[in-house]
Chain A
Amino acid sequence: MALVVPKESYSGKIYEVQLGSGAKTVTIGGANALPFLGFEGTFPHKPAVALEVMDIAPEDWPETVKKAVSGASASPVQWAKFCQEQGADMVALRLIGTHPDQKNRSAEDAAKTAAEVAAAVDIPLVILGSGHVEKDTQVLQAVAAAVRGKNCAIGKAVEENYKTVAAAAMANDHKLIAMSQLDVNLAKQLNILLSQMGFAKERIIMDPMSSALGYGMEYTYSVMERIRQAALLQNDPMMQTPIICDIGLNVWKVKETIAPDAEMPEWGGLADRALAWEAITASGMLTAGADMLIMRHPGAMAKAKELIADLM
């Protein structure tokens, strides 16, 4: 009995989305087979990794990751340059300082920061609001205009504010990150709503809502596997947008990345443990089909990039 390699016949393909302007653009997507199955499909672009930068100092971050960026994190511009030097494919600027519970920075201030960061690096830029539904609409409108021409990924558009955020991205020729809450149908629904308002689905990057290793990662993992199957095997055009996973945000608030050695001796040393937590979470998201990751620790990013090279 001779083995006939059982290949899937895929009818769909992930859209290719280009980010950035000038010489250092990055394209993600384009796959026409399930993740890394090179024997039955092609993967024109490797998954990209963005390092995260914030508009305020990372006072809330756990020691391990705070230390890793401490030389640069006092200023968003320095921090972004540092990310580029560390080999990040992109910089992800999170405007957390605009949140009313944080510094409540104004939309104008945020726009100024975004423009400065955009001018400081030549790799593509991801710009994220603070996650405050109402405030993000003002902030992202101002920001999108301030970085017009830079072909950024702007987000996150959610069910409650997608119209305004998408309009801002559309008016200024940016790509859009659309986040839904850990559900295949909600992810599709948001892409449909965006298409109905005239936002081209080929310009959307889908965020299925990430979670950290040990804290619900299996939900994200299976939602992503199902999205990818719908996109490729059932040729569902509303599922064929590339996927982004915002993992640093989730990883660097769980106990495994915070608890000191003395508190949890059975967990091993904090520095190694915390780094591994972000790196292994990244491996999970990549295996499930992530086209793009947002990470916080440069060391964990380096490991994720090493794994991507090993997988391609």
Chain B
Amino acid sequence: MALSGVEIFKYLPKTNCKKCGHPTCLAFAMKLAAKQASLDACPDASADAKKVLGEAAAPPIRDITIGAGDKAVKVGGEICLFRHEKKFFNPCAFAVSIKSSEAGDAAAKKIEMVKTSEIDRVGQKLRVDAIAVTDDGGDAAKFASVVKQVVDGAPGVPVILVSANPAVIEAGIAHCADKKPLICGATADNADAMAKIAKEKKASLVVSAAGLEALEALSDKVKAMGVEDLVLDSGARKAKDMIEQYTIIRRAAIKKNFKPLGFPIISFAERGDSLSEAMAAAIGVMKYASIIVVNSVEKWKMLALLSLRQNIYTDPQVPMQVKQDIYKIGEATDKSPLMITTNFSLSYFIVRGEVENSKVPSWIAVMDNEGLSVLTAWAAGKFTASKIATFIQESGVEKSVTTKELIIPGYVAVLSGALEEKLPGWKITVGPREANQIPTFLKGRA
């Protein structure tokens, strides 16, 4: 259970030595309670303090890393139920399922799709995160051959081994034992054997049960056998069960600090139809799944799911930013209008949308203002005449727009005089205050 600042204070040396960088032990305790400091900063903390505070500081949901190397993915470690309360930290991993029966060409095709899945979105590189090799006939040799095909074909991509048969898992893990795979997994019937494999190979382990009571019991049992890195599968497959059971798991872990369910969730969203599958996966993205297994990873589908994940896992306190640049909208020429706005993604999206609506080819100069909107950036002194002038001069936009006219947002009309001084030879035009007036404004000029 999380401790309050005063409770933490009782365990500190109370010397106010300032070595931790805080003026008093109480101030440091408050920072610890707010999770803005680490006890490591206190050189004189007693062993007792470290034990008690360490337990209290353990995240309500354990974080687990699957795979090794630079493609390893960390999931779990979440601390809230709603993204507006703080943020969601570790984006869920998408894994494509490759079945034993797909050994050969079908598997090769999926492996290739995973390898070429990377896209760049608002500055982030996103891709299919993992491959779930799935036993669908109980044939250990065949399963192992697919694992080998995956490990050889997509080096470094984290692997999930899916079978209820310990012998099949043994055969498969032989090809990826040093790569921290996730074993999926332990059931009430095979828990002893699976826990033994996971322990030996230092792999993480999914515990699967139908319903939360059975899941809790199995989680406790496997943990008692010495496997710490667990992932939960409550058996939910229908969207209704996913959203309900995952909510209960997340709430129990975060609000009640209920340890047996304090682990990341794996969700099997597989559906016959690919878009139906995407929509089931979407529920997992929003409502607490940390690993989502799908049958297929077409480019259109991953673009939508990865964009959704990026939206949901964005820090609500830090505005999404667009790259500083001069953006060309439509078939803009050197005579097309040039407008400037800030790099707050919403400002840019809305301005861009309205410019596109107007059907008037244009240029949008997006200036880096640390993601602030126009008025906020202006008020904070980050959208001033001299800063805009520097940006415009350094951007080289003069080469593509010969009219030397810059349209500024109506809300900062006050800047126009100073801008004309700082940008000799440029004409500054005051545009509309609101983006929805842009089409009328642009068409009126045409």
> Which A residues contact B (CB, under 8 angstroms)?
1-6, 35-39, 60, 100-101, 131, 211, 213-219, 221-222, 225-226, 229, 250, 253-254, 256, 266-269, 272-273, 275-277, 279-280, 283-284, 287-288, 303, 306-307, 310-312
Q: Within 8 Å CB of B247, what residues of A?
A: 37
Contacting residues of chain B (277-326) with chain A, CB-CB under 8 angstroms: 278-280, 282-283, 286-287, 298-305, 307-308, 310-312, 314, 316, 320
Q: Within 8 Å CB of B279, what residues of A?
A: 279-280, 283, 303, 306-307, 310
Stretch at the interface among B3-11, B103-111, B236-244, B407-415: B236-244
Contacting residues of chain B (43-86) with chain A, CB-CB under 8 angstroms: 82-84
State which of B260, B276, B353 has its C-beta within 8 Å of the C-beta of A303.
B276
Expressed in whole angstroms, the Cα–Cα distance for A256 and B311 within the complex equals 15
Do B244 and A37 touch across chains, with their CB atoms under 8 A apart?
yes
Most B C-beta atoms less than 10 A away, residue of A131, A211, A311: A311
Q: What's the minimum C-beta distance from B296 to chain A, rounded to whole angstroms? A: 11
Expressed in whole angstroms, the Cα–Cα distance for A276 and B286 within the complex equals 16
Expressed in whole angstroms, the Cα–Cα distance for A219 and B317 within the complex equals 11
13 pairs of residues in contact across A and B, judged by CB atoms under 8 Å? A3-B260, A4-B256, A6-B251, A6-B255, A101-B440, A218-B312, A225-B82, A229-B82, A268-B300, A279-B279, A303-B276, A306-B279, A311-B240
Q: Within 8 Å CB of A254, what residues of B?
A: 353
Expressed in whole angstroms, the Cα–Cα distance for A229 and B80 within the complex equals 15
Do B353 and A253 touch across chains, with their CB atoms under 8 A apart?
yes
Expressed in whole angstroms, the Cα–Cα distance for A5 and B287 within the complex equals 17
Do B252 and A3 touch across chains, with their CB atoms under 8 A apart?
yes
Chain B interface: which size bin?
A: 35 or more
Do B316 and A218 touch across chains, with their CB atoms under 8 A apart?
yes
Q: Within 8 Å CB of B443, what residues of A?
A: 101
Number of A-B pairs whose CB atoms are under 8 Å? 163
Q: What's the minimum C-beta distance from A230 to chain B, rounded to whole angstroms? A: 12
Of all chain B residues, which has the CB nearest A220? B311
Q: What's the minimum C-beta distance from B325 to chain A, rounded to whole angstroms? A: 15
Expressed in whole angstroms, the Cα–Cα distance for A39 and B247 within the complex equals 10
Chain B window 222-248, contacts with chain A (Cβ cutoff 8 Å), 1 for yes, 0 for no: 000000000000000011100110011
Expressed in whole angstroms, the Cα–Cα distance for A6 and B257 within the complex equals 11
Q: Within 8 Å CB of A272, what residues of B?
A: 274-275, 298, 300-301
Do A221 and B312 touch across chains, with their CB atoms under 8 A apart?
yes
Given contacts A217-B311, A219-B346, A310-B239, contact A279 B275 (CB under 8 A): yes
Q: Within 8 Å CB of B376, what residues of A?
A: none
Given contacts A221-B312, A267-B303, A279-B278, contact A5 B248 (CB under 8 A): yes
State which of B121, B238, B243, B252 has its C-beta within 8 Å of the C-beta of A214.
B121
Flag whether B259 is at the interface (Cβ < 8 A). yes
A4-B256, A6-B256 are known contacts; what are 7 more A-B pairs with Cβ within 8 Å? A1-B220, A3-B252, A214-B310, A229-B82, A268-B302, A272-B301, A307-B283
Do B84 and A214 touch across chains, with their CB atoms under 8 A apart?
no
Q: Within 8 Å CB of A4, what residues of B?
A: 256
Expressed in whole angstroms, the Cα–Cα distance for A100 and B239 within the complex equals 45
Do B243 and A284 touch across chains, with their CB atoms under 8 A apart?
no
Q: Within 8 Å CB of B287, what residues of A?
A: 287
Given contacts A218-B314, A226-B84, A276-B300, contact A287 B346 (CB under 8 A): no
Flag whether B216 is at the interface (Cβ < 8 A). yes
Of all chain A residues, which has the CB nearest B303? A267
Flag whether B390 is at the interface (Cβ < 8 A). no
Q: What's the minimum C-beta distance from A138 to chain B, rounded to whole angstroms? A: 18
Do A216 and B255 touch across chains, with their CB atoms under 8 A apart?
no
State which of B83, B301, B345, B436 has its C-beta within 8 Å of the C-beta of A216.
B345
Q: Within 8 Å CB of A266, what residues of B?
A: 119, 299
Do A280 and B240 touch across chains, with their CB atoms under 8 A apart?
no
Flag whether B212 is at the interface (Cβ < 8 A). yes
Q: What's the minimum C-beta distance from B271 to chain A, rounded to whole angstroms? A: 9
Expressed in whole angstroms, the Cα–Cα distance for A218 and B304 within the complex equals 14
Do A311 and B303 touch across chains, with their CB atoms under 8 A apart?
no
Given contacts A276-B300, A279-B275, contact A213 B308 (CB under 8 A): yes
Do B280 and A310 touch across chains, with their CB atoms under 8 A apart?
yes
Q: What's the minimum C-beta distance from A73 to chain B, rounded to whole angstroms? A: 19
Do B345 and A273 touch across chains, with their CB atoms under 8 A apart?
no
Q: Within 8 Å CB of B239, what residues of A?
A: 36, 307, 310-311
Do A213 and B311 touch across chains, with their CB atoms under 8 A apart?
yes
Flag whether B261 is at the interface (Cβ < 8 A). yes
Given contacts A6-B248, A36-B240, A268-B303, contact A216 B280 (CB under 8 A): no
Expressed in whole angstroms, the Cα–Cα distance for A273 and B260 within the complex equals 40
Q: Which 5 A-B pairs give the minimum distances between C-beta atoms?
A: A268-B299, A268-B300, A273-B300, A310-B239, A214-B307
Q: What's the minimum C-beta distance from B329 to chain A, rounded to whole angstroms? A: 11
Flag whether B356 is at the interface (Cβ < 8 A). yes
Expressed in whole angstroms, the Cα–Cα distance for A37 and B82 within the complex equals 15
Do A273 and B304 touch across chains, with their CB atoms under 8 A apart?
yes
Q: Within 8 Å CB of B426, what residues of A?
A: none
Q: Within 8 Å CB of B301, what residues of A?
A: 268, 272, 276
Q: What's the minimum C-beta distance from A155 to chain B, rounded to whole angstroms? A: 16
Do B308 and A280 touch across chains, with their CB atoms under 8 A apart?
yes
Flag whether B391 is at the interface (Cβ < 8 A). no
Most A C-beta atoms less than 10 A away, residue of B247, B316, B356: B247
Expressed in whole angstroms, the Cα–Cα distance for A211 and B298 within the complex equals 24
Expressed in whole angstroms, the Cα–Cα distance for A216 and B304 within the complex equals 14
Do B304 and A213 touch across chains, with their CB atoms under 8 A apart?
yes
Flag whether B89 is at the interface (Cβ < 8 A). no
Do B243 and A222 touch across chains, with their CB atoms under 8 A apart?
no
Most A C-beta atoms less than 10 A away, residue of B239, B274, B302: B239
Expressed in whole angstroms, the Cα–Cα distance for A218 and B301 within the complex equals 19
Chain B window 101-140, contacts with chain A (Cβ cutoff 8 Å), 1 for yes, 0 for no: 0000000000000000001010000000000000000000
